[in-house]
Structure 1
C-alpha cells in the first residue's frame, strides 16, 4: 500500500459530545497482486521519549502501555468494511464513523486508524477534539544536568496536565558565580505531548562551564497559554582539580591526627612525671618511650 500525492497526513475531526462524525480512508495497492487488509481503531499515547505510538490490539502481559482499546479508538467503526480486499493496481475507499459517546469530556482524544496485513501494520493519526472548554497546562519536573563540557545535557520531564495536545517551546537560562552563563535560546521541541502523558527528554548544553556552580531555569511554553518552569543547580569541577583537592584534604587530616596523637602522648608523659596516676594503682617504673616511637621505628 502506498500513499498518493496530496493525501492527508492525518485525520482531523471535531464535534460535540454525542455526535457521529464521518470520514473516508483510501487504500492504494500499487503491487501486482491482491492484498487483504484488516482495519481497526486504536488508542494513541506518547512513548517515554515523546514519540507518537498506538496500542496493540492484543492485551499486554502485566499491563503497561499496550493492551486493549479503552479510549477514542473504540469510537472508530468501519462497519462491514473491517476486512477489505484490494485488487492489484487498485484504490479502495473505505468509509468509517467516529461516534462520540454522550458525556465525553472536552478536549483532544488521540487515536489512530491501523491497517494490518500478514502481521505488518501501518497507521494514520486521528486528531479528534470534543467541543467544550480547552485547557492548556503542563509542568516541568526532574530537572538535572548530565555529563560535562561540550557533552553536557539537561534532562527533564514534561507532563501534560491539560486536555489538549501541546507543541512545547523550551528555553534555558543559566547563572554562574560571576553572572550569566550561556544557556539555550527558545526553540520548539520536536514532540507533541498528548493530554495526560509524560515524556522524558534531554537537551544539549554546549555552553556548560568548565569550573563553576550554576543555577538553571528551564522555561516551557505552549500555545493556549501553557507555561511552566523547572530549576536545578550543578557543580562543574575538572577531575584534575577535584582529585588534587581531595588528596590535599586527606593529607591535612592525617597531619591533624598525628599532631593530636603527639599532644596526647606528651600530656601522658607529663602526668607520669608529676605522679598523677589514679589513686591506688600500681604501675611498675619504666623508662619513658622515646619520641621516635611515633614514626614507627623499632625500640
Structure 2
C-alpha cells in the first residue's frame, strides 16, 4: 500500500511538470480553416473555364482604324457574400477607347461572371502599338480592392510619314526677329520633327541654325504653332528666311518667308530729298517760262518806240535788259 501511494504521487508530480513546461500540449486545439480568397479579375479564357496560370495574363487585340474589337473579363467571387465591382478603361490610347458592357457588376457568392467590353479604334488612329488598362474596383466593405488588367492593342494599316511647314512669317521685335511657323503631321505615324533655320541677305548668309528636335511628339493629323527667336538680325537688308523640317520615315518639307529690315531714319530721309527736288523743278520751270517769252518776241517783228516794228526782232536801244538771275547782283 505505501508503495502504491508513493508511485501515484510520483506520477502526479511528473504530469504536473509536463503541463507547466508544455502548456500548448495540454490543451488540444483544432487547426483554423484557411480564409477563402477574395474576388479576382483576369482575361476570360473562354469556353466557360475559370482563368488559370497557363492562361493569358493580359488582353491583346488587333484592329484597323474605324473597327471595333470585343473581348471578355472574368470576375470570380469565391466568398460567401455578394459583392459589386466597378469597371472602366484607364490610361491614354487603348484605355481611353475601352467601353465595358456595364460600368458596375454585382456578383453573387461562389459565382464567376464574364463581362464583355469593346475597344473602338478611331478612324484617324495611326498604325502602331497602343497600351491601356481595364481597371476593376471592388465596392463596399470587405471588397475594397483594385485590380488592373493590362490591355495591348495593335492598330493595323500602312505607315506613312508626311510633314508640312506652313504659315511662315518673320517680324521684328526689339533687337530680335521672331520667326513663326506651323508644323502639320499629314501622315499616319507619330513624328518627332527636327527644324533647321537659315537666313540669307543681299550680301550673303546671315543665319545658319542646325536641325534641332522639337520637345514634343506630333500625332497624326495634329498641328502645332512654333516660334524661333533670331537674336541680332541686320538693321538694313532684304532677307529670305528658310525653314526645313525633317522626321523619321522620310518626312521632309521646307518653306520660306521674306523679311525687309529698314531703319526708320532711312524711311524718313527721302522726304526732304523729294521736297528739294520738287523746289528745284519749280525754279527751272519758271526760268523756262521767262526765256520762252523773250524768244517768242524775237521770232516776229518787235514793236518800235512809235508803235512800229524793228527789223530782225531787235530790242530798242533804250530798252532795259531782262535779268534771269536771282542772286545778290541781279537787278530789275
Structure 1-normalised TM-score? 0.51
Tell me the CA shift for residue 241 of structure 1. Answer: 2.7
1:15-46, CA deviations, whole angstroms, 9 ceiling, x for partnerless residues? 3324638899xxxxxxxxxxxx99789x99xx
**8 Å contact from structure 2 (residues 100, 118) kept in 1:** yes
SS of 1:181's partner is strand
Cα distance in structure 1, aligned partners of 2:104 and 2:265: 66
Q: 2:6 maps to which residue? A: none
Give the direction of change, closer, same or farther, for the CA distance of 1:259–1:80 in structure 2 (3 Å limit): farther
Q: Which runs of 5+ in 2 are unaligned?
A: 1-59, 74-85, 106-115, 134-151, 301-322, 326-332
Asked whether 1:194 is paired with 2:219, we answer yes
Q: 1:232 maps to which residue? A: 257
**8 Å contact from structure 1 (residues 136, 163) kept in 2:** yes
Give the direction of change, closer, same or farther, for the CA distance of 1:209–1:79 in structure 2 (3 Å limit): farther
Give the direction of change, closer, same or farther, for the CA distance of 1:179–1:275 in structure 2 (3 Å limit): same
Q: Which has the higher contact order (CA 8 A, sep 6+)?
A: 1
**8 Å contact from structure 1 (residues 176, 214) kept in 2:** yes
**8 Å contact from structure 1 (residues 15, 21) kept in 2:** no
Asked whether 1:99 is paired with 2:120, we answer yes
Cα distance in structure 2, aligned partners of 1:258 and 1:82: 95
**8 Å contact from structure 2 (residues 192, 213) kept in 1:** yes
Cα distance in structure 2, aligned partners of 1:246 and 1:73: 67
Q: 1:138 maps to which residue? A: 163
Tell me the CA shift for residue 226 of structure 1. Answer: 0.6
Q: 1:286 maps to which residue? A: none
Cα distance in structure 1, aligned partners of 2:104 and 2:324: 97
Q: 1:212 maps to which residue? A: 237
Tell me the CA shift for residue 236 of structure 1. Answer: 1.3
Tell me the CA shift for residue 14 of structure 1. Answer: 7.6
Cα distance in structure 2, aligned partners of 1:207 and 1:96: 59
Give the direction of change, closer, same or farther, for the CA distance of 1:158–1:248 in structure 2 (3 Å limit): farther
Q: Size of the alignment, in residue pairs?
A: 202
Given candidates 66, 72, 76, the residue that maps to 2:98 is: 76
Q: 1:124 maps to which residue? A: none
SS of 1:208's partner is coil
Cα distance in structure 1, aligned partners of 2:263 and 2:72: 61
**8 Å contact from structure 1 (residues 153, 203) kept in 2:** yes
Q: 1:87 maps to which residue? A: none
Q: Which runs of 5+ in 1 are unaligned?
A: 1-12, 25-36, 45-71, 84-94, 114-126, 277-289, 293-299
Tell me the CA shift for residue 73 of structure 1. Answer: 10
1:262-299, CA deviations, whole angstroms, 9 ceiling, x for partnerless residues? 366447645764689xxxxxxxxxxxxx989xxxxxxx
Cα distance in structure 2, aligned partners of 1:242 and 1:257: 23
Give the direction of change, closer, same or farther, for the CA distance of 1:40–1:242 in structure 2 (3 Å limit): farther
**8 Å contact from structure 2 (residues 191, 218) kept in 1:** yes
1:98-140, CA deviations, whole angstroms, 9 ceiling, x for partnerless residues? 2338xx5772599x99xxxxxxxxxxxxx97621211111111
Structure 2-normalised TM-score? 0.47
Cα distance in structure 1, aligned partners of 2:204 and 2:119: 56
Instruction: Specify the structure having the higher radius of gyration (Cα).
Output: 2
Q: 1:158 maps to which residue? A: 183
